[in-house]
Structure 1
Amino acid sequence: MEVHCEGCAGCCLDWRSLLESADGRDGGRSQPDRRGPRNPDADGPRREPLDDDPTFVPLTRDEVRTVLDRGLAAAMTPRFWRAADESEGVEIDEISVAAVAGRPAFFVGLRKPPKPVAPFDREEPAWLPTCVFLDPTTLQCRIHNDEALFPDECGAYPEHNLALDQETECERVEAAFGGDRLVDDGHDDRDGLLLGSQAIGAKLFCHPGPERLEGIVGRAASGDLTATDRAELVAVAAASSPGTIAISEPHYEEAKAKAIAAGAEGGPGEHATGRDGPGETWVGPAIQEWAERHRQADGTVPPADVAKTIEEARGAPETPGWDAIE
C-alpha cells in the first residue's frame, strides 16, 4: 500500500467545512464509511452514529488499556448508534440505542478538538476538528512511531476500506481537492478486521447497565459528554472480554479509577480544575485550551505552530517533519 500523506491528514480530521459549492452540498464524498457496526455484505438500514465525526477510529480493548496505562484517558471518547429497528434498540434519553442482547453497544475512539490546520496545500489554517494526536504544524501523527500506542486501525487504513470495497479518504480528498493521494491501491488485506460476533468485547463493547447511561446518551448526542461520562464507557471497554458480552468487575473498577485519576478533562461544558491529578498528561489540558481558544476566536485563526505552546510545551511528542523522512 502506497499513499501520499504529506500535507494531507484527511483521515485524521473533519474537513467537510472546507468544501465550497453553490448549493452547500458535497454529494457525500467527504463522508467516510466508518460508521459501523454493520455487516458489509448485508442489506438493510444502517445504524447512524449519535455523534458527527466522519473519521472516527475505533480502538480495540487492548488499545484502550494501553491508552489508560499511559495516563491519556482524556484522548478517548465513546460512540453510540441509533438502532436500525425497534427489535435491537434500548430506549435511553428518548433515543433508541443500538444494542446487543439488550446491552447498549458502543465504540471507543480518539477525540477531535478544534485545531488550526492547513491541509491539502492550503495557505491559511482553518479551525477544524482534528485528532488529538495530530500535530497541526507538520500534519503528522505524534504517536505514529509508538508501536504500542498507535492504533491498528490507523495503521491499516486505507487497506481496510479497500478490502470492504469502500471508498477511501484518499480518494475523497483527490475528488475534492485534486492531486494523487492513493498512489497504489493494489492491497486489500482483511487481516485484523473485526466484523460480526468476533468484534464483540474486542472492538464493539456492550454496556451491562443501560440505566447507568441515563443522561450520558443524551450528552453523547448533543456533544456535551463529561469526563465522568467518558470514564464510565472507557472502563467498560477496558473490562470487556473478547468474544463475549461479559464484563470483569475488578478490571472495570481499576480502569475507571485510572480514567478519573488521569484528569480526563477537556470536553464541552467542562472547566479546568487547576489541579494536577495522578497520571495527568498533556492531553486533557491541551484539549481544554484548544476548545477555549476556539470559543474566543471570533472568526480569527492562529498560526498552526501555536501547537508548540499548547501541546509540546505540556509534553506532547514532537514530530520529525517531512524532510526528515524523505
Structure 2
Amino acid sequence: MEVNCEGCAGCCMDWRPLLAEAGNDESANKRRAEPLRDDATRAPLDGDTNFVPLTRDEVRAFLEAEMADALTPRFWRAADEHEAVAIDGYEVASVADRPVFFVGLRKPPKPVAPFDLEDESWLPACVFLDPTTLQCRIHDSDLLPDECSAYPAHNIALEQETECERVEAAFGGDRLVDNSVPEDLDGLLLGSQALGEKLFCHPRPERLEGVVERTASGNLTREDRAECLAVAAASSAGTVAISDYHYEWGKEQALEESDSWVTDALEEWESRREDADGVPSAAIADAVETARGAPETPGWDALEEYSSH
C-alpha cells in the first residue's frame, strides 16, 4: 500500500465545498466505507463524509489522555422498522432495541489550501490535522486510530472507492500509487465482529432524547458527547452488555475539565470561523494549536515524495 499524501489530506477533511464552488459536486455524497451502512438505506444523521470509527480501547485511551473533546458520536437512520428505535422524530438504527453508534474524531472548521490550491478555504478538517503542513499531529503517537493507519487499505479490501481516487478524479495528480492490500490487514470488524468493539449499543434510548436531534443539526453539547463516550468505554466485545463501572468512569473522564490543547483550540476555531471576514492564512494554526501545546508536524522536506501509510 503506497499513497502520495503531500498537499492532500483528502481523507482528513470534507472537501465537498471546493467542488460545489467549482460547480462540480458529482462526488458530494460519496463516503468512506462503513461496516453497518448500506448507502441506500442507513444514512448517517451527521454530514461527515469520511468518519473514522474508533475502537472501545481507543476511546478509553483518548479519555485517559484528557482528549474527550476531540471525539463525537455518529448515529444512522434505520434501514427498516424492524431495526428502528424512534427518538426525537427519527427512526434510529438499533440492535436489540438499543440505538447503535460509532465514535470518531471531530472536524472543526480550519483554513486550509489542499490539492495545490493557492488560497485557503474554511473546511471541516480533522481536529488533529495541522492546517499548515496538512499532516497529522498524532501520526507517530499511540493515539493514532487503527482506522487511520490502515486507510485506504480497508476501502480497497471492501472493493470501495478510496478518498485518494476521488481526489485524483476531482483535482488530478497521483495519490493512490500502489493499491495492493497487505496480507496481514486486520481491524475491519465487519457486522457482528464490530459489536462492542467499534459499533456501540446504548442501553437506555430515553437518555438520547435531544441528543439525536442535536446530532442531526450539528449542535451536540459536551454532555451529549460524554453520554455516548461513557457507553462506548463501557461496552463489551461481541455483546450488548455494559459495564457500570466503566460507564461511570467514562462519564467522569469526559466531563472533567481538561488541560489539553484540544479543548481550547476547538473553541477558537469555531469562534474564528463565525467572526471571520474572509479566510486567514493557515499559519494562524501556530497561535491556535501549536502555542497551546499541539504536537508539531515534520513537514515534507525530510520525507520521501511518496509516503506510505
Which residue number corresponds to residue 88 of structure 2? Answer: 93
Q: Aligned pair 1:126/2:121, yes or no?
A: yes
CA distance in 2, matches of 1:102, 1:20: 39
Alignment partners' CA distance in 2, 1:210 and 1:294: 34
TM-score normalised by structure 2 residue count: 0.95
1:170 matched to 2:164? yes
Aligned to 2:264, what secondary structure does the other structure show?
Answer: helix
SS of 2:72's equivalent?
Answer: strand
Cα shift readout 1:97-152 (whole Å, capped 9, x = no counterpart): 00000000000000000000000001111000000000000000000001x20000
Residue identity opposite 1:288 in structure 2: E
Give distance in 2, aligned partners of 1:284 and 1:19: 30
Partner of 1:230: 225
Q: Partner of 2:57: helix, strand, or coil?
A: helix
1:318 equivalent in structure 2 = 296
Structure 1: stretches of 5+ with no match in the other structure: 262-276
Summarize the alignment of residues 35-184 of structure 1 with structure 2, pairs less than 5 Å apart: 35-38=34-37, 45-146=40-141, 148-184=142-178
Counterpart-to-counterpart distance in 1, 2:261 and 2:249: 22
Is 2:27–2:166's contact at 8 Å kept on the other side of the alignment?
Answer: no
> 1:289 aligned to 2:268?
yes
Q: CA deviation at 1:32?
A: 2.2
- Cα 1:175/1:183, change in 2 over 3 Å: same
CA contact (8 A) 1:160 1:188 kept: no
2:2 matches 1:2: yes
Look up the equivalent residue of 1:144 and give its one-letter code: H
Q: Which runs of 4+ in 1 moved over 6 A?
A: none
Deviation at 1:280, TM superposition (A): 2.5
Q: Give the 3-state SS of the residue equivalent to 1:324 in structure 2.
A: coil
More displaced stretch, 124-133 vs 184-193: 184-193
Instruction: Note if 1:215 corresponds to 2:194.
Output: no
> Is the 8 Å Cα contact of residues 14 and 124 (structure 2) preserved in structure 1?
yes
> Matches of 2:91 and 2:286 in 1, distance apart?
43
Greater shift, 189-198 or 252-261, is seen at: 189-198
Aligned residues: 303
Say which SS state the counterpart of residue 180 (structure 2) adopts.
coil
Judged with a 3 Å threshold, the aligned counterparts in structure 2 of structure 1 residues 258 and 21 are, in CA distance, closer, same or farther, namely closer
C-alpha displacement of 1:25: 5.0
Q: Secondary structure at the match of 1:258?
A: helix
Match of 2:235 in 1: 240
In 2, are the aligned partners of 1:50 and 1:81 still within 8 Å (CA)?
Answer: yes
Using the TM superposition, give the Cα deviation of residue 83 of structure 1 relative to its aligned residue in structure 2, in angstroms: 0.3
Task: Indicate the residue corresponding to 1:253 in structure 2.
Answer: 248
Residue 198 of structure 2: which of 183, 194, 203 is its match?
203
Give the aligned partner of residue 307 of structure 2.
none
CA distance in 2, matches of 1:316, 1:165: 36
Distance of 2:25 and 2:265 partners within structure 1: 32
User: Judging changes above 3 Å, is the alpha-carbon distance between structure 1 residues 216 and 228 closer, same or farther for their aligned structure 2 residues?
Assistant: same
CA distance in 2, matches of 1:69, 1:293: 29
> 1:59-92, CA deviations, whole angstroms, 9 ceiling, x for partnerless residues?
0000000011100000000000000111100000
Q: Secondary structure at 1:323's aligned position in 2? A: coil
What is the deviation of 1:27?
2.1
Q: Which amino acid is the alignment partner of residue 183 of structure 1?
A: V
Give the CA deviation at 1:20. Answer: 4.5
CA distance in 2: counterparts of 1:280 and 1:75, whole angstroms: 13
What SS class does the counterpart of residue 302 from structure 2 fall into?
helix
Over the matched positions of the two proteins, sequence identity in percent amounts to 66
Aligned to 1:264: none
Indicate the structure whose relative CO is greater, using CA pairs within 8 Å and at least 6 residues apart.
Answer: 2
